Amino acid sequence: MDHTTVINKLNELSYKGFKEAYIHQIEDVNYDTAAFDDRLYQLLDAQDIFLRNKKIDMAFKLSKIKDKQAAIDAIDFNPKRKINKLQIHSLAALNFIHAKQNVIITGKTGTGKSYIAQALANRSIIDGHRAYYVRTPSLLEEIRISRIDGTYTNLLKKYSRFKLLVLDDFGVAPMVEDDATNLFEIIEDRTEINSTIITLQLPVSEWYNYLNNNTIADAILDRIVHSSHRVELSGPSMRKMKSTIKNEEI
């Protein structure tokens, strides 16, 4: 049997990782003296890596994360930003996901809340956890539409199954009728099952006024705040800092 026959069979089976490793082996004379089991293991390992990477790529596509390049290692820990570096690196270990805990990231506009949330979500996908990103106003609009067209139950199932859900821009748009209840039901379906990251400018103490429903506010706070890690950003706007840098360069 020749190499072409083997490669054709690998193509037929869609064993792309295995095939690429096999071609590498037949082109490298150093493998001529390698033990069969060693060569076979490397081929199987190459296929396993290929499948895992394919799964990760698909998870990124489905995640709707806007900044797929956001990374913990790329976070600017300039002292002016007043970010707790130890806390961020601790969260990056993703133990909060294993413990089914949440993260609340607060800070003024431009301080990097969304970037940190997306960096954690990207890390979680690489680690094998399904993640999803959505702006809170978009989520609430999606819920309103689903109640009208009869897909609400399916929508709840969709948002409950992600290991990590990022609710970005909480509190930037006014709550309309039933929004607080709709948001609660999304959170309730995830409580003690999966983790949620919420980014917002509002301090937690102002949630009651924003939600405009004390009963729902109590329920949301009980399920989110008491099981959350709090990240508070108080530094200058990153957009302003970058703009200053560009102007200095000009």
- Of 168, 195, 183, the closest CA to residue 220 belongs to 183
Same domain? For 142 and 34 the reply is: no
Q: Are 224 and 102 in contact (CB under 8 A)?
A: yes
Q: What is the pLDDT of residue 249?
A: 53
Same domain? For 88 and 11 the reply is: no
Distance CA 21, CA 45 (A): 9
Q: What is the pLDDT of residue 88?
A: 97
- Of 123, 99, 114, 77, the closest CA to residue 199 belongs to 114
Q: What is the pLDDT of residue 242?
A: 60
CA 189 to chain CA centroid, nearest Å: 18
Same domain? For 115 and 205 the reply is: yes
Q: What is the pLDDT of residue 238?
A: 66
Reported as a single tens digit per residue, the pLDDT across 29-77 is 888 889 999 999 999 999 999 999 999 999 999 999 999 999 999 999 9
For the chain, the DSSP string reads --HHHHHHHHHHHT-HHHHHHHHHHHH-GGGGGS-HHHHHHHHHHHHHHHHHHHHHHHHHHHH--S-TT--GGG----GGG---HHHHHHHHTTHHHHTT-EEEEEESTTSSHHHHHHHHHHHHHHTT--EEEEEHHHHHHHHHHHHHHT-HHHHHHHHHS-SEEEEEEETSS---TTHHHHHHHHHHHHTTTSEEEEEESS-GGGHHHHHT-HHHHHHHHHHHGGGEEEEEE-S--HHHHHHHHHHHH-
Q: What is the pLDDT of residue 58?
A: 96
Distance CA 64, CA 211 (A): 26
Same domain? For 125 and 27 the reply is: no
Q: What is the pLDDT of residue 247?
A: 52
Q: What is the pLDDT of residue 213?
A: 84
Task: Name the residue with higher pLDDT: 241 or 115.
Answer: 115
CA 135 to chain CA centroid, nearest Å: 13
Q: 169: domain CATH number? A: 3.40.50.300
**Proportion of the chain above pLDDT 90, given as a percent:** 68
Q: Are 121 and 65 in contact (CB under 8 A)?
A: yes
Same domain? For 59 and 76 the reply is: no
* Distances from the Cα of 185 to the Cα of 87, 110, 167, angstroms: 29, 29, 14
Q: What is the pLDDT of residue 211?
A: 87
pLDDT category of residue 78 using cuts at 50, 70 and 90: confident
Q: What is the pLDDT of residue 120?
A: 98
Same domain? For 81 and 38 the reply is: no
Assigned domain for 115 exists: yes
Q: Are 196 and 102 in contact (CB under 8 A)?
A: yes
Q: What is the pLDDT of residue 80?
A: 82
Segment 209-221 shows an average pLDDT of: 87
- Of 158, 159, 91, 101, the closest CA to residue 121 belongs to 91
Q: Are 50 and 17 in contact (CB under 8 A)?
A: yes
Assigned domain for 180 exists: yes
Same domain? For 170 and 197 the reply is: yes
Question: Is the pLDDT at 214 greater than 80, yes or no?
Answer: yes
Reported as a single tens digit per residue, the pLDDT across 79-130 is 888 899 999 999 999 999 999 999 999 999 889 999 999 999 999 999 999 9
pLDDT category of residue 243 using cuts at 50, 70 and 90: low
Same domain? For 111 and 35 the reply is: no
Same domain? For 121 and 199 the reply is: yes
- Of 15, 13, 71, the closest CA to residue 43 belongs to 15
Q: Give this prediction's pTM.
A: 0.85
**Domain range enclosing 16:** 3-63
Q: What is the pLDDT of residue 202?
A: 87
Give the count of domains, the chain: 2
Mean pLDDT rounded to a whole number for the chain: 90
